Amino acid sequence: MEWEAVIGLEIHVQLTCCQSKLFSGAATAYGAPANSQASPVDLALPGVLPVLNREPVEAAIKLGLAIDAQIDQRSIFARKNYFYPDLPKGYQISQFEQPIVYQGHIDITLTNGEHKRIGVTRAHLEEDAGKSDHNGFGDQTGIDLNRSGTPLLEIVSEPDLRSAAQAVAYLKKIHSLVRYLEISDGNMQEGSFRCDANVSVRPRGQQELGTRTECKNINSFRFVEKAINHEIARQIELIEDGGRVVQETRLYDSDRDETRSMRSKEEAFDYRYFPDPDLLPVVINDQWITDVAATLPELPEAKIARLIAELSIKPEDAEQLASSRELANYFEASVAAFGEQPQTTANWITGELLGRLNKASITISQCSVSPEQLAGLVTQIANNTISGKIGKEVFAGMWDGDGDALEIIEARGLKQITDSSELEALVAQVISDNPDQVAEFRGGKEKILGFFVGQIMKQTRGKANPGKINNMLREKLAAYPTP
Ligand code: ADP
Ligand code: MG
């Protein structure tokens, strides 16, 4: 039996762009002393009333526009009732029947390079709950209500994803998008971007969906992939052994790489949603949408298309460069500084630069090499002052703060040898030093050419122009008398 996985994601995005909470004036900064950012509204003191702030609504409109969604011009807030110690009101204000954003979509790129459209069912505003702190208070639990009332945008996908890899690609797209839109910092460690993964399996070809389970609150791309793969395998094994998947909420344990049941459908909360009588409907007029649309930056898809069409960047590189606004800005600043060979600049960024950033676990904004410095390096390679290989050494020097490319090239004597007579002498020398290899070459072993090039590179510490010596070697070896 061939199985097909079906996945839908619910993503909780904390709208870190907002100065204050969804319904109160308290600040939302991360890491403040416990309960220092909780107003009477967040504490749910008697007699207080929530008042909707404008910023979170604008953030939702931005996302809606960016995913080509419908924006509901009259949406309502609802109470989602449940008891939890860090939820003093006894309900969370969310949206149920009329979310602000619905019916959008986003395209992901599959591993084979094809694109796939993923539907976004809805995106609604809701407030976050507080936090319980079970550590550091002996047998008591501390309650911190700083997070209470923080604005969240919950983005719910259609069950259109078919593998863990597709789910991660989708998640990364949304992550990149909220950062482009500057509605969230997307910080997964701090919980500003987390996801619930709904997973089911069905025999391939079957229309009807299988029973799903939901893994809650996963906060890294790697864990999302692992949790989904684990869950797919668990469900298939269960069914093949004659069992049945039960609809339930599961917890992904990254230490053990497994999912565990938290609660089944029977134990699921009945939230008893109803419209919040304390809040008026949100009315969004056309003018407001137009005004917000005018503030949108160039979005990833448009940027990718432009990099490919105008700068002839390879599609996979364009996608990587456009994955964050900062990286794309870096690339464009570097290309502007040199003015030629954008693909070469792209290669240096996707290869050497991102490799080093990854290794050092830092982001492009913390990179010690400026876009102009990188342009300086690409210029020196383009005009043959140095080879690409020496370029790596120069790049390392710039990374370590030793100066600009030209300064490093001069200080370390790295200029490429392009002088023909000097190169010819080197070629003649390597030929007379290695009669055995010359015989092999003349016997038809073309590959031995690399050996000669290698010898010369070794002698010159990589400074000989490889193209030139290759040509000279071929010429000389052809003319060389048979021993
Ligand atoms: P709930 O809030 O009860 O979890 P929602 O309807 O808000 O339910 O969303 C559930 C998520 O699960 C959506 O992303 C949806 O695409 C996905 N989903 C629904 N049914 C299935 C299924 N059978 N298999 C996988 N995913 C599913
Ligand atoms: Mg859910």
Beta carbons of 185 and 30 less than 8 angstroms apart:
no
Measured from CB, residues less than 6 Å from any atom of ligand 1 are 6-10, 156-159, 198-200, 209-210, 212, 214
Asked whether residue 188 carries a pLDDT value surpassing 90, the answer given is yes
Closest Cα partner for 100 from 214, 22, 17?
22
The ligand placed nearest to the CA atom of residue 8 is: 1
CA pair distance 312, 331, nearest whole angstrom: 14
Task: Kindly give the distance from the C-alpha atom of residue 228 to the centroid of ligand 1, in angstroms, as a whole number.
Answer: 14
Asked whether residue 415 carries a pLDDT value surpassing 60, the answer given is yes
Task: Kindly give the distance from the C-alpha atom of residue 268 to the centroid of ligand 1, in angstroms, as a whole number.
Answer: 14
The ligand placed nearest to the CA atom of residue 212 is: 1
Span of 23-37, 80-94, 420-434 with lowest mean pLDDT: 420-434
Tens-digit pLDDT profile for residues 226-267: 999 999 999 999 999 999 999 999 999 988 988 999 887 777
The ligand placed nearest to the CA atom of residue 102 is: 1
Task: Kindly give the distance from the C-alpha atom of residue 398 to the centroid of ligand 2, in angstroms, as a whole number.
Answer: 49
Closest residue by Cα to atom 3, ligand 1, is: 214
Beta carbons of 221 and 168 less than 8 angstroms apart:
yes
Instruction: Give the atom of ligand 1 at the shortest distance from the alpha carbon of 160.
Output: 16
C-alpha torsion 82→84→86→87, nearest 10 = 20
Mean pLDDT of 164-176: 97
What percent of the chain is predicted at pLDDT more than 90? 80
Q: What pLDDT sits at residue 407?
A: 95
Tens-digit pLDDT profile for residues 322-349: 999 999 999 999 999 999 999 999 999 9
Closest residue by Cα to atom 19, ligand 1, is: 159
Higher pLDDT, 418 or 80: 80
CA pair distance 51, 42, nearest whole angstrom: 12
Tens-digit pLDDT profile for residues 369-386: 999 999 999 999 999 899
**Ligand 1, pocket-test mutation among 106, 156, 196, 265, most atoms within 8 A of CB:** 156
Instruction: Tally Cβ neighbours within 10 Å of residue 68.
Output: 11
Asked whether residue 403 carries a pLDDT value surpassing 90, the answer given is yes
Q: What pLDDT sits at residue 481?
A: 57
Asked whether residue 479 carries a pLDDT value surpassing 80, the answer given is no
Three-state SS letters, 217-278: EECCHHHHHHHHHHHHHHHHHHHHCCCCCCCEEEEEECCCCEEEEEEEHHHCCCCCCEECCC
Q: What pLDDT sits at residue 241?
A: 96
Instruction: Give the three-state DSSP class for 429.
Output: helix
Task: Kindly give the distance from the C-alpha atom of residue 185 to the centroid of ligand 2, in angstroms, as a whole number.
Answer: 23
CA pair distance 482, 103, nearest whole angstrom: 77
Give the angle subtended at the CA of 427 by the CAs of 422 and 430, to the nearest 5°.
125
- In the DSSP assignment, the letter for residue 317 is H
Asked whether residue 274 carries a pLDDT value surpassing 90, the answer given is yes
Closest Cα partner for 149 from 179, 125, 114, 122?
125
Asked whether residue 46 carries a pLDDT value surpassing 60, the answer given is yes
Beta carbons of 285 and 73 less than 8 angstroms apart:
yes
Question: Which residues are paired to 200 by β-bridges?
Answer: 6
Tens-digit pLDDT profile for residues 193-209: 999 999 999 999 999 99
- In the DSSP assignment, the letter for residue 167 is H
Instruction: Give the atom of ligand 1 at the shortest distance from the alpha carbon of 159.
Output: 16
Closest residue by Cα to atom 5, ligand 1, is: 156
Average pLDDT, the chain: 94
Q: What pLDDT sits at residue 315?
A: 94
Q: What pLDDT sits at residue 89?
A: 95
Q: Which residues contact 157 (CB under 8 A, 6 or more apart)?
A: 8, 9, 10, 11, 118, 119, 120, 121, 170
The ligand placed nearest to the CA atom of residue 10 is: 1
Q: What pLDDT sits at residue 102?
A: 97
Q: What pLDDT sits at residue 305?
A: 96
Closest residue by Cα to atom 14, ligand 1, is: 8
Q: What pLDDT sits at residue 357?
A: 97
Residue 66: left (phi > 0), alpha (psi -120 to 50), or beta?
alpha
What's the token pair of residue 178? 């909220």
Q: What pLDDT sits at residue 371?
A: 98
**Ligand 1, pocket-test mutation among 198, 236, 244, 264, most atoms within 8 A of CB:** 198
DSSP string, 13-46: EE-TT-SB-SSS--B--TTPSTTTT--HHHHT-T
Task: Kindly give the distance from the C-alpha atom of residue 296 to the centroid of ligand 2, in angstroms, as a whole number.
Answer: 30
